Structure 1
Amino acid sequence: MKTSPPRHGLARVLSKRGLCSRTQAAQWISQGRVRVDGRVIRDPEFPITADGAQQIAIDGDEAGQAPARLYLMLNKPRGLVTTARDDRGRETVYRCFDGAQVDDGQGGGMPLPWVAPVGRLDKASEGLLLFCNDPAWAARITDPERGPTKTYHVQVDTQPGPELLLALEAGVDCEGECLRARQARVLRLGERNAWLEIVLDEGRNRQIRRLLAAFDIAVLRLVRVAVGPLELGGLAKGQWRLLSSGEVDALRA
């Protein structure tokens, strides 16, 4: 018996093709900007076959071909939220891409295509934040079991001893979650505070802040400096760069 190809919602299909976020796709669809086989569709869950047989157009332009895959890293400044649009009117990380262009493959430039954050950093955190328009790659990076480690430099309001470092690695129960560091060590000590290097092998919400708070320790600064083998390096605050193919593959491995 011949089986029909699987179907997915229209908004999901546009997102999976790297054309926009699912939220943006749903907005475009509700605004009547998307046609399927020449017909305007206003239902984000309108079923689309996975074999690509149906013709999809956005504002009259065919959207059947996904844009070239892009992978980049941003040195996120403190004070920006990791979202495309904030209901409270706060500035987002996309401010850093205003006017951004990439090589069009013909010696010229073209506007940076839509890219989504891979994971997130909260408003008060800084450092390495990945973006891409490849949902499968992003899922691999954020996978809690197979994804790469994340390394942070954390300024705290105390001078931790060896016992605290061991306790951070042993972990604590916090509201039913086990929060722990894969590795914790002192980078340098000040008169009243210290910088720690904390490595995580999973990505729970505000994990480092909650873990340290369990020991009555406040975070003064939190900077992500590496994701797996990819280091932030000398990338200036608020600047971004494309990843090389080798870096993309290393993070996937």
Structure 2
Amino acid sequence: MKTSPRHGLARVLSKCGLCSRTQAAQWIADGRVEVDGRVVRDPEFAIVQGRQRVLVDGKPLDQAQQRRYVMLNKPRGLVTTASDERGRDTVYRCFDGAGLPWLAPVGRLDKASEGLLLFCNDPQWAARITDPEMGLDKTYHVQIDTIPDERTLAALLDGVVDAGEPLRARSARLLRSGEKNAWVEVILDEGRNRQIRRLFSAMGIDVLRLVRVAIGALQLGELGKGQWRELSVEELAALQR
């Protein structure tokens, strides 16, 4: 007979999107969490999610926090993490003073990259959005240190193998060029670590700036650098089509 998995209470709270695991441990230590009618102060207290009644501040998990879905125009130089062991500024600096509940990033942008980054406190929604089966294209505007010809753009679609990993773009086109550099639009239908930088690097080309401007039908638009806003009902629906 198959038994249901048991998980630590702090992990369950964080997986529900209520807070980070560190915050969950603090809530539990503060006596804000009940399991089956009694206060539990051990963050590793094992439960079977869905089988035991868990309350936070007297409310069931599905009522303890309103679901929030946010888009941020991530500035360059911020790391996509809640806290950084090296003391670097994180994307959460952009939410200072906003009074938002705990929100987790949906996907990542590396420190040197900019643009559209999603956050939510709905792990199931985040999993759907990042699932490759959803087929959500991600569109980037990339400044490079050369003027690409048609052969270079075609090579991005043909792809390369870097560190044993195949990398390719779904489409690439020249947006504009100057005397020594150019902006290229690159669309990816898969998400691999530093994929665009690695693609160009394999061709001996340096990326000067990298800005994500769209995820599926959701456009960054005129949202200012470091600014955020909540997604509309229509935008949420469009992302899940």
TM-score (norm 2): 0.90
Residues 101-157 of structure 1: CA distance to partner in whole angstroms, max 9, x if unpaired?
Answer: xxxxxxxxxx21111110011111100000111111111111123241100000000
Deviation per CA, 1:46-91, whole angstroms, max 9, x where unpaired? Answer: 322332533344xxx2352331111110000111111111111101
Map residues 1-253 of structure 1 onto 2, 5 A cutoff. 7-26=6-25, 29=28, 34-36=33-35, 37-44=37-44, 46-51=45-50, 53-57=52-56, 61-62=57-58, 64=60, 65-100=63-98, 111-253=99-241
RMSD (Å) for aligned C-alpha atoms: 2.2
C-alpha distance in 1, partners of 2:126/2:91? 17
Q: Which amino acid aligns with 1:134?
A: D
Secondary structure (helix, strand or coil) at the match of 1:130 reads strand
Q: Which residue identity lines up with residue 142 of structure 1 in the other structure?
A: T
Shift of 1:4: 7.1
Name the structure 2 match of 1:106: none
Give yes or no for contact 1:145–1:202 (8 Å, CA) kept in 2: no
Q: Matched residue of 2:133: which SS?
A: coil
Amino acid in structure 2 at the alignment position of 1:70: R
C-alpha change, 1:14 and 1:124, in structure 2 (3 Å) is: same
Equivalent in the alignment of 1:107: none
Partners of 1:202 and 1:4 lie apart in 2 by: 35
Contact 1:32 1:42 in 2 (8 A): no
Amino acid at match of 2:81: T
CA distance in 2, matches of 1:207, 1:93: 21
Q: What residue identity is the alignment partner of 2:16?
A: R
Describe the shift of the 1:240–1:52 C-alpha distance in structure 2 as closer, same or farther (beyond 3 A).
farther
Cα distance in 2, alignment partners of residues 184 and 24 from structure 1: 42
Q: What amino acid maps onto 1:68 in structure 2? A: Q
68-77 or 24-33: bigger deviation: 24-33
Identify if the C-alpha distance between structure 1 residues 68 and 147 changes in structure 2 by more than 3 Å, giving closer, same or farther: farther
Unaligned regions of 5+ residues in structure 1, if any?
101-110
Q: Which runs of 5+ in 2 are unaligned?
A: none
1:28 positional shift: 5.1
CA 1:214–1:124: 2 relative to 1, 3 Å? same
Letter of the structure 1 residue corresponding to residue 225 of structure 2: K
CA distance in 2, matches of 1:220, 1:242: 30
Does structure 2 retain, via aligned residues, the 8 Å contact 1:7–1:48?
yes
Q: 1:228 to 1:12 in 2, by over 3 A?
A: same
